[in-house]
C-alpha cells in the first residue's frame, strides 16, 4: 500500500513538473502562437481547401477531421518533445539515473498532453463552428466529447512510442513533425481512407485517429453510443497497443542508451 | 567589394548549413510533399477539373518555398541568439543587412528546388499537370514571387532580432499565410474581409499571376498583378530600412539584443 502511494506521488509530481518545466508554450505569447494560431489556422486552411474542392456542404467533414487531428499535436508533439527536451536541456541522464518507476514516469509524460489535446480540439471546433456557421443541432454532443477524450488518449499512446525513440535519436522532433503530418494523409482526416492504396489502408487502420474520427463523424450526425462502440473500442485497443509497444521500446532503448552513452549526445 | 564578399560568404555558409541540416530537408522536401499529397487527394475529389488540380501541383512547392524563405531569415537570427553570436555579428563592421541578404538568397535557392519533387510527385502519383502553361509568364511570375519573398524575409528578419516572440507568432501563423496568399486555393474562396487582408500581401498577387500562367480560364491581368506585387515589396523594403536602424540602436545603445 505504501509502495502504491509512493508511485502515485511520483506520478503526480512528474505531471506537475512536466507542466511547469517543459512546456514551451506556457507563456501568453507561446500559447497564442502554438495553441491558438497554429491549430485554428490549420483547421481553417483545410476547411477552406475542402470547401473549394467539394463545396460548402462538406465543411463539417473537414472541420471535424482536422479539429480531431489536433489531438495529435498535443499527443505526439507534446510527448516526443518532453523526451527530446530532457535531452536538449541535459536532464535525460538524471532522469534515467533516478530510481523512479519507469512506467509511472513514462505515462505521466502523456497526461498533460492528453488534457491539452482535449482543450485544443474544443477551442478549434468552437472557432470553426462560429466562423463557418456549422450546424451541430443533430449531433450527439456527449458522445462527440467522449470521442475527443478517447482520441486524445490514443494519440498520446502513439506519441509514447515515438517519444521512446527520442532516447537515442537527436532529432526526434523532426520525427514528430513527419508523423503528425502523415496522420493527415492516412487517417481519413480530409478524404476517406478507402481512396488510399490498399497497403496504406492497412497502415491507416493500425493507427490511432482513423476509427476515432469515423466515430466522431457519426456522433456529429446523431449516432448513439451503441452504433459507434465498436469503433471506439478498436480505437482504444490500438492506442493501448501503441502505448505498451512504446513502453517496451523505452526500456530496450534506455538500456541501449545507457550502454552507448547516447542519452548525453546532443 | 568587401560587402559583396561578406554577403557571398553568408550565402555559401547558409547553403552548407542547409545541406547538412535535417530540419532543412523537412522544410523544403518532406513537409511540402505531404501537403501536396493531401492537397491533390482533396482537390481531385469528385473528378476535379485540371485547372483546380494546378493548385495541388504548385501548392506544395509554394509552401516549401515560403517556409524556407522566411525560416532562413528568422531561424538564422534565432540560431545566432541561441549560439551567443548575435552580438558579435552586430559588432562586425559589415552591416547586418548584408549578412542577412546572403542568408536570405541562400534560402531562396533552396526554396526554388522545392517545386521539383512536388511537381514530380503530382505527375507520377496523380497524373496531374499544368494544363496550359505559358512559360514566359510563368517565369516572370516566379521571378516576381521570388522578389516578394526576398523582401518579406529581409523585412521580417529585424523583427525576429527585436522580439523573440515574433518568430513563434509567425511560425504559429504559417498556415494562415498559406490561406491569405492563396497557395493551395484561390483567395476568391475566402470571406471578403480576408481578401482585403490578402490584398496587402505581395505574394498574393504574384501567386495569382503564377497560377493564371498555367491555365486558360479566368482573368489574366498579369501586368497589374506583377506591379502590385513589386510595389508592395518596395513598401516592405522601406519598412525594413526603418527596422534595421531600430535594431542597430537596440544592439549598440541598449545592449539588450541577446536578451530580447
Q: What is the pLDDT of residue B56?
A: 93
Q: What pLDDT band is residue B99 in, cutting at 50, 70 and 90?
A: confident
Do the beta carbons of residue B202 and residue B176 sit within 8 Å?
no
Give the residue from B40, B168, B174 with the most A CB atoms within 10 Å of its CB, the best one to mutate: B168
Chain A residues whose CB is inside 8 A of the B121 CB are none
Say whether A181 and B35 touch across the interface (CB within 8 A): yes
- Whole-angstrom distance, CA of residue A60 vs CA of residue A133: 9
Partner-chain residue, chosen from B31, B42, B165, that has the shortest CB–CB distance to A181: B31
In angstroms, the separation between the Cα of residue B172 and the nearest Cα of chain A is: 4
Domain that holds residue B244: 2-259
Provide the angle, in degrees to the nearest 10, between the axes of the packed helices B135-162 and B222-249: 20
Pairwise CA distance, residues B73 & B70, whole Å? 5
Q: Is the CB of A33 inside 8 Å of chain B's CB atoms?
A: yes
Only one residue has cell 466562423, namely A131
Which DSSP state fits A101? Answer: -
What is the tens place of the pLDDT at every residue in B125-167? Answer: 999 888 889 999 999 999 999 999 999 988 888 887 777 778 7
C-beta separation of B216 from B131 below 8 A: yes
How many whole angstroms separate alpha carbon B108 and alpha carbon B154?
A: 12
Please check whether residue B188 touches A, CB under 8 A: no
Percent of chain A that is helix, strand, coil (3-state, to 5): 80, 0, 20
Contacts A178 to B, Cβ<8 Å: 26, 30, 34
> Is B26's CB within 8 Å of A177's CB?
yes
d(CA B219, CA A255) in angstroms, rounded, equals: 64
Mean pLDDT by 10 residues, chain A (266 residues): 81 77 66 83 94 91 92 80 76 80 77 83 87 87 94 90 80 84 94 95 96 96 95 96 91 80 61
Contact B123, B37 (CB under 8 A): no
Do the Cβ atoms of B168 and A36 come within 8 Å? no
ipTM score for this prediction: 0.91
Cell 490584398 belongs to residue? B199
Question: What is the rounded distance in angstroms from the CA atom of residue B196 to the CA atom of residue B178?
Answer: 15
Amino acid at each position: 500500500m505504501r509502495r502504491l502511494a509512493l508511485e502515485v506521488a511520483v506520478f503526480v509530481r512528474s505531471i506537475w513538473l512536466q507542466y511547469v518545466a517543459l512546456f514551451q508554450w506556457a507563456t501568453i505569447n507561446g500559447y497564442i502562437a502554438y495553441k491558438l494560431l497554429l491549430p485554428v489556422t490549420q483547421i481553417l486552411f483545410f476547411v477552406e481547401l475542402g470547401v473549394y474542392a467539394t463545396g460548402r456542404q462538406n465543411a463539417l467533414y473537414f472541420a471535424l477531421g482536422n479539429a480531431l487531428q489536433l489531438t495529435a499535436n498535443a499527443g505526439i508533439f507534446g510527448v516526443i518533445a518532453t523526451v527530446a527536451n530532457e535531452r536538449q536541456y541535459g536532464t535525460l541522464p538524471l532522469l534515467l539515473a533516478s530510481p523512479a518507476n519507469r512506467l509511472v514516469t513514462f505515462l505521466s509524460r502523456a497526461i498533460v498532453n492528453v488534457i491539452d489535446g482535449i482543450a485544443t480540439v474544443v477551442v478549434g471546433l468552437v472557432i470553426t463552428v462560429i466562423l463557418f456557421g456549422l450546424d451541430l443541432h443533430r449531433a450527439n454532443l456527449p458522445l462527440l466529447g467522449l470521442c475527443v477524450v478517447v482520441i486524445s488518449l490514443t494519440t498520446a499512446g502513439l506519441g509514447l512510442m515515438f517519444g521512446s525513440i527520442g532516447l537515442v535519436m537527436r532529432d526526434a522532433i523532426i520525427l514528430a513533425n513527419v508523423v503528425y503530418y502523415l496522420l493527415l494523409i492516412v487517417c481519413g482526416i480530409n478524404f476517406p481512407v478507402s481512396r488510399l492504396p490498399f497497403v496504406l489502408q492497412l497502415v491507416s487502420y493500425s493507427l490511432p485517429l482513423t476509427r476515432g474520427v469515423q466515430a466522431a463523424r457519426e456522433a456529429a450526425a446523431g449516432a448513439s453510443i451503441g452504433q459507434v462502440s465498436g469503433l471506439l473500442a478498436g480505437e482504444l485497443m490500438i492506442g493501448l497497443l501503441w502505448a505498451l509497444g512504446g513502453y517496451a521500446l523505452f526500456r530496450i532503448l534506455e538500456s541501449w542508451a545507457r550502454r552507448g552513452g547516447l542519452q548525453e549526445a546532443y | 567589394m568587401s560587402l559583396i564578399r561578406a554577403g557571398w560568404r553568408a550565402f555559401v555558409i547558409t547553403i552548407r548549413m542547409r545541406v547538412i541540416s535535417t530540419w532543412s530537408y523537412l522544410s523544403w522536401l518532406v513537409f511540402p510533399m505531404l501537403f501536396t499529397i493531401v492537397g491533390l487527394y482533396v482537390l481531385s475529389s469528385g473528378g476535379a477539373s485540371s485547372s483546380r488540380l494546378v493548385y495541388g501541383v504548385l501548392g506544395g512547392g509554394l509552401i516549401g518555398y515560403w517556409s524556407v524563405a522566411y525560416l532562413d531569415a528568422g531561424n538564422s537570427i534565432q540560431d545566432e541568439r541561441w549560439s551567443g553570436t548575435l552580438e558579435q555579428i552586430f559588432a562586425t563592421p559589415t552591416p547586418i543587412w548584408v549578412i542577412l541578404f546572403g542568408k536570405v538568397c541562400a534560402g531562396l535557392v533552396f526554396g526554388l528546388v522545392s517545386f521539383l519533387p512536388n511537381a514530380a510527385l503530382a505527375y507520377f502519383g496523380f497524373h496531374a499537370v499544368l494544363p496550359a502553361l505559358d512559360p514566359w509568364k510563368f517565369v516572370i511570375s516566379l521571378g516576381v514571387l521570388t522578389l516578394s519573398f526576398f523582401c518579406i524575409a529581409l523585412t521580417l528578419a529585424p523583427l525576429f532580432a527585436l522580439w523573440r516572440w515574433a518568430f513563434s507568432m509567425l511560425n504559429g501563423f504559417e498556415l494562415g499565410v498559406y490561406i491569405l496568399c492563396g497557395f493551395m486555393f484561390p483567395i476568391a474562396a475566402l470571406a471578403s474581409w480576408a481578401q482585403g487582408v490578402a490584398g496587402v500581401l505581395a505574394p498574393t498577387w504574384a501567386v495569382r499571376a503564377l497560377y493564371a500562367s498555367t491555365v486558360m480560364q479566368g482573368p489574366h491581368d498579369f501586368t497589374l498583378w506583377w506591379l502590385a506585387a513589386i510595389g508592395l515589396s518596395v513598401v516592405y523594403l522601406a519598412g525594413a530600412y526603418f527596422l534595421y536602424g531600430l535594431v542597430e540602436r537596440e544592439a549598440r545603445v541598449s545592449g539588450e539584443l541577446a536578451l530580447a
